[in-house]
A = this chain, B = another copy of it.
Amino acid sequence: MTRKSNGDIGNRSTIRDVAARAGVSASTVSRVLAGDYPVSTATRTRVMRAVRELDYVADARAKAIAGVGTPTLAFVLDDITGPSFAHMAHGVEREATRLGHLCLVCSTDGDTEQELEFIETMRAQRAAAVILVGGTADTAEYRARMSRIADSLASAGSRLVLCGRPPLDPGTPVTVIEYDNESGAYALCAHLLAQGHRRVLFLGGKPENTTAQGRERGYLAAHRARGIEPDPELRLAGDFTRDSGHRRIRQALAQSLEFTAVMASTDMVAAGALTALHEAGLSVPDDVSLVGYDDIAFARDLHPPLTTVHVPYEELGRLAVRTALGRTPDAPNEHLLLGTHVVVRDSVAAVPGQLVPDASARVSSQAPTGGLT
């Protein structure tokens, strides 16, 4: 059996096979396919016919190594199953293919070890950019690790992009794109407070998660801006899942915690909370008001439609690849902060038996932030 038997199925043909069949050299085939470079019509025709007959496609890896490949871009996230992540992924993917890039995705399921491994793999793939998504613990160890990764990626000609993650030291070659969790939560909580609520239950995230922290800061700040110090008992940590929201409300009810409103740090947990409330025979918003965060598509299908803050996830994804691909890989640290705004639906009412101080309180406060830092 010769080395290049073509009888077998599964033998992709090489450029040399095409060349042989067309009776020309490999260089000529390459040039015909590239389209630049003058080739006589007769030759071109013969080559094209051979290409068609052999169903030839040039090996993208070989082209890449020769410097003319389709660039690739990597997207690393926790779990594509979360609606907000899915929208970001969609934005990333659309923008990447619009810009002629391929798009590799990896889910880490929250495993830092795997994250590291993926990044290394992406460096080996010579990805043009690596986009990391989702809040994490903002420890010194984290910053050190990320800085190292950023440098390492930059020296390999690739750019690190952090989405919804805490920024690194200035000077680190990294692009950070965040949405402003704190002011979104601030506006949202202010909305609740304006309706007279004074005991609003906060369903937070994991204490070390920076997204959760930002939203909690907003919750706190809104209270303090009114001179209220919220009861620490009203702040319940947990996961960003519907089950966690469900469970926490059940427990709060069981230990008869008092509250007139609940602020969930995610629409997902709001959804869980809502069904728990319903199961307890409580009416939203008549008995208790409820707000979420993220404005996922389903927020308006909940009953009642959920008041929440809109985060432009898809745009975030697009922006991430656009800026990542626009810069030189070793550009200095840059930091974009996207604004959010609360969208008012029907899940909030004034607290029963209390006068609303200012019924026309401006409510859809376009967050005061946004733009470049």
Asked whether B121 lies within 8 Å of A59 as measured between CB atoms, the reply is no
Which of B57, B102, B157, B271 is the one whose CB lies under 8 Å from A156?
Answer: B57
**B303 contacts A278, CB within 8 Å?**
yes
* A89 contact set on B, CB distance < 8 A: 80, 105
Q: Count of A residues near B, CB < 8 Å?
A: 60
Known: A157-B10, A330-B10. A58 touches B303 (CB 8 A): no
Task: Report if A120 contacts B (CB, 8 A).
Answer: yes
A86 touches B80 (CB 8 A): yes
Residue in B61, B124, B329 whose CB lies within 8 Å of A58: B124
Q: How close is A273's CB to chain B, nearest CB, in angstroms?
A: 9
- B59 near A124 with CB under 8 A, answer yes
In the assembled complex, the CB of A328 is this many whole angstroms from the nearest CB of chain B, namely 8
> Nearest chain-B residue to A9 (Cβ)?
B330
| Closest CB in chain B relative to A277 CB, distance in Å | 10
Q: Considering the chains assembled together, what is the distance between the CA atoms of A126 and B11 in angstroms? A: 12
Tell me if A238 is interfacial: C-beta within 8 Å of chain B.
no
Verify B83–A12 contact, CB threshold 8 A: no
- A sample of 13 cross-chain residue pairs with beta-carbon separation below 8 angstroms, ordered by A number, consists of A10-B154, A11-B155, A57-B156, A61-B61, A62-B65, A81-B83, A89-B105, A93-B105, A93-B106, A93-B107, A102-B125, A275-B305, A303-B303
Give the interface of A toward B (CB within 8 A).
9-12, 55, 57-62, 64-65, 69-70, 79-81, 83, 86-87, 89-90, 93-94, 97, 102-107, 109, 120-121, 123-126, 152, 154-157, 242, 271-272, 274-275, 278, 297-298, 300-303, 305, 328-330
